[in-house]
C-alpha cells in the first residue's frame, strides 16, 4: 500500500500540515526546524548520489580486473602449453 500522507507548509506561522484520508492534523514546527530537516534531506540525497557514483566506478573497476584476470589466465595456459611442449621435445632429444 502506498503512502497516503501529504505534507503542506503554511505560509504564515511555519506550520506543517499533515493530510491523510482519515484526518488532518496541524503540527506546529518552527521554520528553522523545517530548514534543518530540509538540509539533512538534501545531504542524504547528495550522499546517495555520491554512493551511486562510487558504486558505478567500483563495478567498472571490478569488471576491468575480471577481464585482466581472464587475460592473464589465458596467457598462463599458453605459457604452460609451450613449456610442456619444450619438455617433451627435450625428452625426445634425450632418448636419441
pLDDT of residue 69: 98
**Residue 23: CB atoms within 10 Å:** 7
Q: What is the DSSP letter of 6?
A: E
CA torsion angle for 88, 89, 92, 96 (degrees, to 10)?
A: -160
Cβ atoms of 10 and 21 closer than 8 Å: no
Give 7-42 pLDDT, tens digit per residue.
555 555 555 555 555 555 545 557 778 888 999 999
Instruction: Return phi, psi of residue 45, to 5°.
Output: -65, -45
- Considering the entire predicted model, what is its pTM? 0.54
- Rounded CA-CA distance 23/81 in Å is 78
Amino acid at each position: 500500500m502506498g503512502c497516503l500522507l501529504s505534507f503542506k507548509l503554511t505560509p504564515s506561522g511555519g506550520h506543517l500540515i499533515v493530510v491523510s484520508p482519515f484526518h488532518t492534523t496541524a503540527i506546529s514546527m518552527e521554520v528553522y526546524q523545517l530548514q534543518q530537516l530540509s538540509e539533512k534531506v538534501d545531504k542524504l540525497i547528495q550522499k546517495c548520489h555520491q554512493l551511486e557514483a562510487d558504486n558505478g566506478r567500483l563495478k567498472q573497476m571490478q569488471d576491468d580486473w575480471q577481464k585482466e584476470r581472464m587475460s592473464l589466465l589465458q596467457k598462463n595456459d599458453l605459457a604452460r602449453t609451450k613449456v610442456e611442449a619444450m619438455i617433451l621435445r627435450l625428452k625426445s632429444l634425450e632418448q636419441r
